Amino acid sequence: MSNTKVIVGLGSCGLAAGAGKVYDELFRIREADKLDFELKKTSCIGMCFKEPLVEIIDESGSYMYGEVDIKKADEIVEKHIVNLSPVKEYIVQSDTFESPFKNYFEGQVKIALRNCGFIDPESIEDYEARNGYKAIKKIAEEKISVQDVIKTVLDSGLRGRGGGGFPTGLKWKFANNSTSKIKYIICNADEGDPGAFMDRSILEGDPHSVLEGMIIGAYAIGATEGVIYCRAEYPLAVKRLNIALKQAREKGYLGKDILGIEGFDLDIYVKEGAGAFVCGEETALIASVEGERGMPRKRPPFPAVSGLWKQPTNINNVETYANVPWIIIKGAQAFAKYGTEKSKGTKVFALTGKIKYGGLVEVPMGVSIRDIVYKLGGGITGDKKFKAVQLGGPSGGCIPEYLSDTLVDYDSVTATGAIMGSGGMVVMDETTCMVDIARFFLDFTCKESCGKCTFCRLGTKRMLEILTRITNGEGKEGDIEKLEELAVKIKDGSLCGLGQTAPNPVLTTIKYFRDEYEAHIRDKKCPALNCKKLLTYEVISENCTGCMVCKKNCPSNAIEGEKKQVHFIKQELCIKCGECFTRCKFNAIKVF
């Protein structure tokens, strides 16, 4: 038992599922029973659909247990640790037998997530044990020039993972070309779409990989100060970043003449943002760091020429920086062998929505949407019909099922009208109303608009009003055309990426699901049976037992009928609440 390790996933997802209580119970058992096993912490392991997760590593192999609660924790300790008999029915992954989630694991290549779930994120020693800070040491020991570092990143084909997809090495080259003696490097950890879950998970689970990527980037451009702009709503990420920064300073990875590289001075600090979605745009982020309201600025000049405090500045997001140390150690070609011609490497996605296996996955660029949904994600919840995916966050686009063989790379995704974004992938099934989905996402971007551009401030509001009318059954002829006209003007007239992409959910749903818009407007019906004000409830007489449950619970007294007699619904009084449909135990209410 002395060689046994018990590792508990304590990322935000695990903690929300009760992993903290499981860890405390394991600690209590160990101390009370004087058991000899090492109890360790890690962060998000990726299988969010099976949280809380506990891994046991002993002389016979490794075993990942899923959906562990206090009761299961007691059983696992008794059977596995004490009696050396793994509890197979709770195991979701093991190297001793085939996993029931084989496709989920085999379909992934982990580069950005290489350490997440394997190390204690608050231990720099754990990071160093897995090649941590080896990349910056290699640069120092082999005296690799700034130009060669930039060339390696360029040759790898790494593109910005924050959504824009601009070549990272080229960005670094532009900043390096400046002769200014003062330069800054910034990590954008403030994206607000579902893909931000991915950024947060890297910060919580492997903060040193981001720091090392920033240190290498600072060396490449000549920066002396770095900023990690992280939303304050990520307290665990902020906490672990500050721990990592303190450890890096103590070990000499930050400070003066880093690792003996003369003149290479750098320090990094965390700037907590207020969670404004617009601050994912680099010039708005810079304004916020400077203490101003987070609003975009006109470009050019670009940040590489005039950024923070009007000095040359390089900005990349969390995932981009996390890839850099791996590229320096393994080489450009090791990264470039994954992906397609113009989209190299891997991409992390946050799978969510109507999907069986939601969580974080990292796949090679060029895999199809269908493979992500069915092979890694396990298919649609309840085995319902796959309808579409929303790719790219709130300002991304909806890609229909018949285009699900689209390859996940920058060019192919953009061709559909969606965007890669920072990696949010929301899966939708047949019960999803595409008009309401467009309304939902536009409501978010409308609220998050900083208000600087008239087209974005007012145009998104007018579009939202039209979409709300349509979903309320008040749509009229010409609404679709008005939405399309407004969308084009907002895209053309907005200064930053928020306004330029905000109409995407509307444009793509009109493009691929126009029939649903027409059904809402002309027939006053929602084909997905989602928009309540467009639904009709009726009693199925042959199924009705006259139990009175629906009548007693109807808030508008729209149901009439005596006990043990068939009831009926007065449509003029019905408020479409669906209470009768929910309460009926005899399938006697139909909705259409």
Residues 486-505 have pLDDT tens digits of 999 999 999 998 899 999 99
What CATH topology corresponds to 346-429?
Ubiquitin-like (UB roll) (3.10.20)
If we measure between CA atoms, which residue out of 250, 254, 187 comes closest to residue 219?
Answer: 254
* Contact yes or no for 281/449 (Cβ under 8 A): no
- Give the model's pLDDT for residue 192: 55
Query: In angstroms, what CA-CA distances link 536 with 30, 452, 526, 554?
Result: 59, 43, 10, 15
What mean pLDDT value characterizes the chain? 94
Query: Rounded distance, CA 303 to CA 281, Å?
Result: 11
Band (148; pLDDT cuts 50, 70, 90): very high
CB contact at 8 A, 3 and 60: no
Give the CA distances from residue 276 to residues 281, 324, 367, 447, in Å, rounded to whole numbers and listed in that order: 10, 27, 32, 10
The burial class, CB within 10 Å (0-12 / 13-18 / 19+), for 102 is exposed
pLDDT-above-90 percentage for the chain: 88
Query: 218: alpha, beta or left, given left = phi > 0 and alpha = psi -120 to 50?
Result: alpha
Domain 434-523: give its CATH code. Answer: 1.20.1440.230
pLDDT at residue 467 above 50? yes
CA angle 383, 387, 392 (to 5 degrees): 115
pLDDT at 2: 65
Instruction: Please name the amino acid found at residue 234.
Output: Y
Question: If you write DSSP's letter for every residue of 337-402 in order, what string do you get?
Answer: TSB-SSSBSEEEEEEEESBSS-EEEEEETT-BHHHIIIIIS-SBGGG--EEEEEESSTTSEEEEGG
Given a cut of 80, whether residue 417 has pLDDT beyond it is yes
**Domain segments of the chain: what residues?**
5-100, 124-335, 346-429, 434-523, 536-591
Q: pLDDT class for 395, splitting at 50, 70, 90?
A: confident
- pLDDT for residue 195 is more than 50: no
Question: Which amino acid, one-letter code, is at 272?
Answer: E
> What is 124-335's CATH superfamily?
NADH-ubiquinone oxidoreductase 51kDa subunit (3.40.50.11540)
The number of beta carbons lying within 10 Å of the beta carbon of residue 59 is 9
pLDDT band at 277 (very low <50, low <70, confident <90, very high): confident
Distance CA 173, CA 151 (A): 9
Q: Verify cis geometry, omega within 30 degrees of 0, for the bond prior to 527.
A: no
Q: Which of 31-40, 187-196, 327-336, 340-349 has the lowest mean pLDDT?
A: 187-196
Q: Which residues of 456-492 are buried (b: 16+ CB within 10 A; e: fewer)?
A: bbebbeebbebbebbbebebeeebbeebbebbeebbe
Least confident of 146-155, 191-200, 219-228, 446-455: 191-200
In whole angstroms, what is the distance from residue 166 CA to residue 316 CA? Answer: 10
Q: What is the pLDDT of residues 498-557, one digit of tens each?
A: 899 999 999 999 999 999 999 999 999 999 999 989 999 999 999 999 999 999 999 999
Q: What is the predicted pLDDT for the residue at 422?
A: 77
How many CB atoms within 10 Å of residue 449? Answer: 24
Burial 32-54 (b: 16+ CB within 10 A, else e): eeebebebbbbbbbbbbbbbbbb
Q: Is there a shared CATH topology between the 124-335 domain and the 536-591 domain?
A: no
Lowest-pLDDT range of 68-77, 192-201, 373-382, 497-506: 192-201
pLDDT at 248: 98
Helices 318-330 and 196-205 pack at an angle, to 10 degrees, of: 60
Predicted pLDDT of residue 194: 45
pTM of the predicted model over 0.95: no
DSSP assignments along 547-587, one per residue: --HHHHH-TT--EE--TTS--EE-TTT-----HHHHH-SSS
Q: How far apart are CA 115 and CA 43, in angstroms?
A: 10
User: Among 264, 277, 213, 271, which Cα is nearest to 242's?
Assistant: 271
Do 388 and 512 touch, CB atoms closer than 8 A? Answer: yes
147 token code pair: 């130009």
pLDDT band at 191 (very low <50, low <70, confident <90, very high): low
pLDDT in the model for residue 75: 97
- Torsion, Cα of 525, 531, 533, 536 (10° steps): 60
Class of domain 5-100: alpha beta
Q: Which residues pair with 428 in a beta bridge?
A: 388
Classify domain 536-591 by CATH number.
3.30.70.20
For residue 323, the tally of other CB atoms under 10 A from its CB is 24
Task: Provide the 10 A C-beta neighbour count for residue 144.
Answer: 18
Buried b (16+ CB within 10 A) or exposed e, 82-91: eeeebbeebb
How far is 221 from 147, CA to CA, in rounded Å?
9
Q: What was the pLDDT predicted at 279?
A: 87
Tens digits of residue pLDDT in 105-120: 888 999 999 999 999 9
Q: How confident is the model at residue 469 (pLDDT cuts 50, 70, 90)?
A: very high
Q: Is the pLDDT of residue 250 over 70?
A: yes
Distances (CA, A) of 167 to 28, 157, 162, 344: 50, 7, 11, 10
Alpha carbons within 13 angstroms on the beta-carbon side of residue 110 total 16
Secondary structure in 3-state letters for 2-28: CCCEEEEECCHHHHHHCHHHHHHHHHH
